[in-house]
Amino acid sequence: MDKKADPTNPVLVNTIELLQEQEASVWNKAAENLGKVNRKRPEVNLSDIERNTEDGDTVVVPGKVLGSGRLTKEVEVAAFKASDSAKNHINENGEFKFIEDLVDENPEGSNVKVIK
């Protein structure tokens, strides 16, 4: 983590530490992005997820998912944060979960894409 970007949110700190404990590079990339200052963390719209995924994909957003756009694909999306509308749209076809839950289910990071 960058010293200037040390987060103070205890949930964020715990999530970053959990990701850093994993051996899979996908989780290390996610930790690196979550460790950035808030304004530099990724904000991803549903339209970005729609463009960059196929049915059945699992993606991690190391930041926040926003509800702009449409998501018609059946995807599993894990993020640190998401707007209520984004969660609702994702859950219509796929599944939204928090990053910690996906790490618990898939610690090796198999077939997980990072979208930022």
**Residue 32 belongs to domain spanning:** 3-114
What averages of pLDDT result for each successive group of 10 residues across the chain (116 residues)? 64 95 96 90 96 97 96 97 97 97 97 95
Specify the pTM: 0.90
Number of domains in the chain: 1
Residues 6+ apart with CB under 8 A from 42: 33, 61, 62, 63, 64, 115, 116
Domain at 83, CATH number: 3.100.10.10
- In the chain, the amino acid numbered 116 is K
Q: Which two three-digit tokens encode residue 44?
A: 């991803």
65: closest CA among 86, 47, 50? 86
pLDDT number for residue 2 = 45
